[in-house]
Amino acid sequence: MIKLFACDLDGTLLNYFHQVDKTVLKAIRAVEEAGLEFTVATGRNMRAQQRVDFGFDKVRMHAVGMNGAMVFNTEGELIYAKPIDKAFIEGLLRAFPDLGFDCIGYDHVFVTESRERHAAYGGRRGLLGLVMRPMRAKFLADCRFDQTPADILSRDILKINCHVRDAVREHELKSFIAEHADSVVNAPFDPSMFEITDKDVNKGTAVAYLARYLGFSEDEVAVYGDGGNDIEMLERFAHAYATSNGSDAAKRAAGTVIGPCALHAVPKHIMRTLRTQRAATE
């Protein structure tokens, strides 16, 4: 019996416009009504305010954030955290002073470049970019720009994001991370990004931690994902599902492919699972 449902957000649980809607909320409420547990498992920071921004404050759920570097319970209390080694961060900032890094702490995002340069990246374009503009604006409001190495090293940093626009510097950054594989791992949802965390951090480990915290076995967990930062989670659990819009690697890791996020494949699959389990006990 599945007792804990764990879902990635973008490309998985959320709709095509990366939003929470009535279908998503209905599935989460159905899990609660069945006396079971739900968690998101995302690269995003799922502090209390971000739950509100998404609309998750309307439902009861746990949250695995920062690719597994943070785990929150249903009350929004932090129950697990794994910051990045500060010696690595110091070396990274010294080796790549020209790159813009988003260094994500417990309370804010500390950015090594100016607001203007950061905004030049622009995020997604077209209709999807327009729809996601309010969420990006809230992200920018959480940022502290022009941060020095000393500013960043004075904080605990759980995840470092970076977009590199130069192929040479991209190769050099990948090589630097590979040289420090004993300290960190890069597990981006999109190959065009860098998402750096402590080497022991991944969604699979964090969801397993939450399952133990709740008193569940790993066979009582169902996981859903679509991208590179979902691989360990999809490989670890027997009940693993990838959306059809997901990467080939995610589909191989899951073994079972369901429909696309645009058609609410994950909420629908959760609802079917709940109906099947309810029928089996009647």
> CATH number for the domain including 157?
3.30.1240.10
Check whether residue 74 and residue 109 sit in a common domain.
no
What is the rounded CA–CA span in Å between residue 173 and residue 263? 37
Task: Give yes or no for a contact between 225 and 234, defined as CB atoms under 8 angstroms apart.
Answer: yes
Check whether residue 34 and residue 163 sit in a common domain.
no
Check whether residue 235 and residue 191 sit in a common domain.
no
Q: If phi over 0 gives left and psi between -120 and 50 gives alpha, with beta otherwise, what is residue 84?
A: beta
What pLDDT does 122 receive? 56
Check whether residue 8 and residue 142 sit in a common domain.
no
What pLDDT does 128 receive? 45
What's the Rg (C-alpha) of the chain? 19
Domain stop point among 198, 226, 255: 198
Check whether residue 159 and residue 134 sit in a common domain.
yes
Check whether residue 175 and residue 277 sit in a common domain.
no
Residue 95: strand pairing partners:
none
Contacts of 188 (CB under 8 A, 6+ apart): 43, 194, 195, 227, 228, 229
Instruction: Return the residue matching tokens 């970076």.
Output: 162
- Cα-flanking dihedrals φ and ψ of residue 192, to 5°? -80, -5
26-72 per-position pLDDT tens digit: 999 999 999 999 999 999 888 877 888 888 999 999 999 999 999 99
HSE (CB half, 13 Å, CA atoms) of 183? 18
Assess whether pLDDT exceeds 50 at residue 127.
no
Check whether residue 160 and residue 194 sit in a common domain.
yes
Domain residues for 273?
Answer: 4-81+202-281
What pLDDT does 133 receive? 56
> CATH number for the domain including 269?
3.40.50.1000
Check whether residue 59 and residue 72 sit in a common domain.
yes
Mean pLDDT over residues 262-280, rounded?
97
Number of structural domains in the chain: 2
Check whether residue 209 and residue 77 sit in a common domain.
yes
Domain stop point among 182, 198, 214: 198
Check whether residue 209 and residue 272 sit in a common domain.
yes
Task: Give yes or no for a contact between 64 and 202, defined as CB atoms under 8 angstroms apart.
Answer: no
Ranges 16-25, 134-143, 184-193: which has the least confidence: 134-143
Check whether residue 69 and residue 207 sit in a common domain.
yes
Domain stop point among 145, 174, 198: 198
What is the rounded CA–CA span in Å between residue 11 and residue 124? 14
CA angle centred on 217, ends 70 and 60, rounded to 5°:
50
Check whether residue 51 and residue 99 sit in a common domain.
no
Burial class, 138, CB count within 10 angstroms (exposed 0-12 / middle 13-18 / buried 19+): middle
146-203 per-position pLDDT tens digit: 999 999 999 999 999 999 989 999 999 999 999 999 999 999 888 889 999 999 999 9
What pLDDT does 238 receive? 98
List the structure tokens of 1: 């019996």
Global pTM value: 0.90
